[in-house]
Amino acid sequence: MIVNTLAQHRRRLGWSQRELAEHSGLSRAEISAIETGRVIPSTAAALSLARAFDCSVEELFGLADIDPEGSSWAWAPSQPSGRFWQARVGERSLLCPTEWTPASTLCHHGFYQNDRVRLNRPCDPRQTLVIAGCDPAVGLLASHIESVSDFRVLSLTRSSGKALELLGQGLVHAAGLHFSAESSRGENATAAQTLLGDRFRLLRVARWEEGVAVDPSLGVGSIGAVLASGLRWVGREEGSGARECLDQILERRQRPEGYQYQALDHHGVAETIRTGWAQAGVCVRLSAEERGLQFLKVREESYDLCFPAAEESDPRIQALLRAVRSTSYRRDLEQLPGYHTGSTGDLQ
């Protein structure tokens, strides 16, 4: 498998892709395609690029030290065949079976069938940043990270508890947490410390509003009215911040033994209500309002991204920090319903 360090050489000199194109005689589109691995450069193109950087072709292009055969599954595939993404986390090269992501449909790196693993295209696993969490606006963050770096973001939908477990197992670069409510602002740090000790950092993304999404045709105007109406609830899994909020709401009455429907994330809660399978559920304001649902605020929570302290100098984490602290990201995030950016970018 061929990988290249073209983007790293370009950034080291402070050149844009257009400037590199001018120095090498290639087009900007060619530069972009080579950097992202969509195109393997011809001999002439490789020589032109090496001359522009005053280095050897071998310094720009070479055989990867990571290949599918030397990788391990982040978790076992649920099907005997399918597609996968490849990422480098710590010292391990990981294969992640593809799944739905809230950011976008990411191009997969390869295909597997039983015990056979095949790469579709050259890729550098070190160019992928893996984030697990339940932020419905993670696509916005991904686009800002990709605008300030050459890394691409793989966003996995997981509850706060599951995301933290993956981080503790060394399977993701960052985990999204929202255990902290107004009355207990240190719960994110407490949860991270329980699993990781003191070897972590918390990057504040936002304070967001969480509450009850309700079918607007019911005409209920308060949490009390919702509880008195005997509505059908859609649940969330144990270990999620939304489940903690749901338990807080239902503590004044007997909780159901189980929920007929259980959603994977905030969008799933809102969609289950919108389609009529349930009438009420807990999610963030953004997911409720995007689907035209009534939203009754219960509390504000801190949504933080947790990452190992030892990885703070990793270029992917540095790109994450730059994006979250950028003026453009804060502006875009503040315009979303229920997101507050007064502490966005703070690092514990």
Residues 31 and 162 in one domain: no
Residues 155 and 126 in one domain: yes
CA distance 145 to 322: 8
Q: Which of 21-35, 240-254, 327-341 has the lowest mean pLDDT?
A: 240-254
Q: Tokens 């933080």 appear where? A: 304
Phi-psi region of 238 (alpha: psi -120 to 50; beta: other; left: phi over 0): beta
Any domain includes 156: yes
Q: What is the CATH number of the domain that holds 263?
A: 3.40.190.10
Q: Which residue has the higher pLDDT, 4 or 205?
A: 205
pLDDT at 64 exceeding the cut of 60: no
In the chain, what percentage of residues exceed pLDDT 90?
Answer: 51
Any domain includes 276: yes
Q: Which residue has the higher pLDDT, 121 or 316?
A: 316
User: CB-side exposure of 165: number of CA atoms within 13 Å?
Assistant: 10
**225-251 mean pLDDT:** 84
At 181 the pLDDT is: 59
Residues 76 and 188 in one domain: yes
At 346 the pLDDT is: 93
Residues 43 and 128 in one domain: no
Question: pLDDT band at 108, cuts 50/70/90?
Answer: confident
pLDDT at 68 exceeding the cut of 60: no
Q: What is the CATH number of the domain that holds 52?
A: 1.10.260.40
SS (H, E, C) the chain: CEEECHHHHHHHCCCCHHHHHHHHCCCHHHHHHHHCCCCCCCHHHHHHHHHHHCCCHHHHEEECCCCHHHCEECCCCCCCEEEEEEEEECCEEEEEECCCCCCCCCCCCEEEECCEEEECCCCCHHHEEEEEECCCCHHHHHHHHHHHCCCEEEEEECCHHHHHHHHHCCCCCEEEEEEEECCECCHHHHHHHHHHCCCEEEEEEEEEEEEEEECHHHCCCCHHHHHHCCCCEEEECCCCHHHHHHHHHHCCCCCCCCCCEEECCHHHHHHHHHCCCCCEEEEEHHHHHHCCCEEEEEEEEEEEEEEEHHHCCCHHHHHHHHHHHCHHHHHHHHCCCCEECCCCCCEC
Any domain includes 98: yes
Residues 183 and 88 in one domain: yes
Q: What is the CATH number of the domain that holds 132?
A: 3.40.190
Residues 85 and 188 in one domain: yes
Q: What's the number of domains the chain is made of? A: 3
**307-314 mean pLDDT:** 92
Any domain includes 163: yes
Answer with the one of 63, 89, 110 that is the final residue of a domain.
Answer: 63
pLDDT at 253 exceeding the cut of 60: no
pLDDT at 252 exceeding the cut of 60: no
Any domain includes 180: yes
Q: Which of 3-7, 32-36, 139-143 has the lowest mean pLDDT?
A: 3-7
Query: Which of 278, 276, 274, 312 has its CA nearest to residue 293?
Result: 274
Answer with the one of 63, 81, 110 that is the final residue of a domain.
Answer: 63
Question: pLDDT band at 191, cuts 50/70/90?
Answer: confident
In the chain, what percentage of residues exceed pLDDT 70?
Answer: 91
Domain span at 222: 209-301
At 66 the pLDDT is: 42
At 129 the pLDDT is: 95
Residues 118 and 89 in one domain: yes
pLDDT at 65 exceeding the cut of 50: no
Give backbone dihedrals phi and psi of 288, rounded to 5 degrees, phi first.
Answer: -70, -50
Any domain includes 203: no
> How do residues 71-105 score in pLDDT, each as one tens digit?
889 998 988 999 999 899 988 889 999 998 876 66
CB 304 within 8 A of CB 202: yes
> How do residues 13-44 score in pLDDT, each as one tens digit?
899 999 999 999 999 999 988 887 778 888 89
Residues 257 and 192 in one domain: no
pLDDT at 1 exceeding the cut of 60: no
Mean pLDDT (the chain, rounded): 87
At 180 the pLDDT is: 66
At 104 the pLDDT is: 64
Residues 190 and 214 in one domain: no
CB 146 within 8 A of CB 103: no
Q: Which of 185-199, 291-305, 311-325 has the lowest mean pLDDT?
A: 185-199
Any domain includes 270: yes
Residues 184 and 319 in one domain: yes
CB 160 within 8 A of CB 238: no
CA distance 172 to 183: 29
Residues 47 and 100 in one domain: no
Any domain includes 10: yes
Answer with the one of 63, 80, 115 that is the final residue of a domain.
Answer: 63
Distances (CA, A) of 141 to 153, 158, 220, 236: 9, 16, 34, 24
pTM of the predicted structure, to 2 decimals: 0.78
Residues 173 and 118 in one domain: yes
Highest mean predicted confidence (pLDDT) among 40-44, 71-75, 120-124, 342-346: 342-346
